[in-house]
A = this chain, B = another copy of it.
Amino acid sequence: MGWLPQDWRLDHEMLIDAGGQLQRIRMYPYFDTAHYLLMCLSVRDDLGPTGVAFSRRHPFSCWLSSMLMSFAGSFLSSFLLGEPIISPMKRHDDVLLASIIWYLVFYSPFDVVYKLVKLTPIRVVISIIKEVQRAHKISHGVSYAARLYPESYLVQILVGVSKGAGSGVVKIVEQLVRGSWAPNQHEMLRPSFTTKACVIASILFTLERQSMYVTAPHDLVYLCVVGFFAYFKLAALLLGVTDPLSPVENVICAVLMGGVFDALARAVESTKEAVQKKRQPTEEEILSKEREKELKRKKLSAAAANGSDKKNK
């Protein structure tokens, strides 16, 4: 117990303090603004090169799309919890702010707002602010669901995720409002890293509420989640890291989702075939056959993938 503990304790308290302060920040208007900006941007980018023409021809559909995306988390969690879907529209301030942002993104003179937000430094700052808002929404979603269903951890996690990453699911409806329909390119089929991160954060908050496995104080957990979101957002924006979880996932999928047993089954099958030919196969033969089959299987699944999704290049 030399000079370190005191330092560390100080640091610990400082961190808790920082987490507490971060948690008490009001989201409206600055953090919400960043969120609305990015959501309107995503609508515009999703419209592609005809976005400007579309916004001139169908202003109402464009506005509705932007509102759906801006309040996606609230819409989805209201829908799941059986609350009035319209409730996010109750607060005039929020709708007004989101509408102003929508107007600026689509109709600002000389497209100045759009061009500004597209600049990397500004985009990075806005994205980080938005990640803080995301953590805030997940934390609130989990604690809200925990009040309604104190025993159901799964519900708490799902509500937290829907608050934080609802836009991926609501996007299906939003695209429908804009008159496009892409049933095989949605979030549930290929969850993005953001959604996975929301799942992790949601699980963390839920466990922490039960104080069973996570014994750190809530403020510290909150700070860690914000840091986690901000760090990976920065990595994605600046270093192009799209999915840091994919190696872990691939291993899990290979072990649990049939990978090991598929390989075993193939080995057994090739052994059987060889036995049927009335002689013991050499190990080389088994391996080469297995390789062949793997190739075939890959071709088949590639063909299937070509048929069912065009997202992967």
Known: A82-B82, A181-B183, A183-B179. A90 touches B261 (CB 8 A): no
Is the beta-carbon distance between A189 and B158 smaller than 8 angstroms? Answer: no
Binary flags per residue of A234-272, CB closer than 8 Å to B gives 1, else 0: 000000000000000000010011110110110010000
Query: Is residue A188 within 8 Å, beta carbon to beta carbon, of the partner chain?
Result: yes
Measured between beta carbons, the chain B residues less than 8 angstroms from A111 are: 265
Which residue in chain B gives the minimum CB-CB distance to A300? B53
Which residue in chain B gives the minimum CB-CB distance to A311? B179
Main secondary structure of the interface of A (DSSP, over half): helix
Residue total for A at the interface (Cβ-Cβ under 8 A): 74
Measured between beta carbons, the chain B residues less than 8 angstroms from A92 are: 152-154
Query: Is residue A193 within 8 Å, beta carbon to beta carbon, of the partner chain?
Result: no
Query: Is residue A295 within 8 Å, beta carbon to beta carbon, of the partner chain?
Result: no
Is the beta-carbon distance between B84 and A81 smaller than 8 angstroms? Answer: yes
Listed in ascending order, the chain A residues whose CB lies under 8 Å from chain B are: 50, 52-61, 64, 78-87, 89-92, 95, 106-111, 149, 151-155, 158-159, 172, 176-181, 183-186, 188-191, 253, 256-259, 261-262, 264-265, 268, 297, 300-301, 304-305, 307-309
Give the number of times this chain occurs in the complex, counting copies.
3
Is the beta-carbon distance between B85 and A82 smaller than 8 angstroms? Answer: yes
Known: A154-B92, A308-B50. A268 touches B110 (CB 8 A): yes
Known: A149-B90, A152-B92. A53 touches B301 (CB 8 A): yes
Which residue in chain B gives the minimum CB-CB distance to A84? B82
Known: A92-B153, A189-B178. A261 touches B107 (CB 8 A): yes
Is the beta-carbon distance between A308 and B84 smaller than 8 angstroms? Answer: no
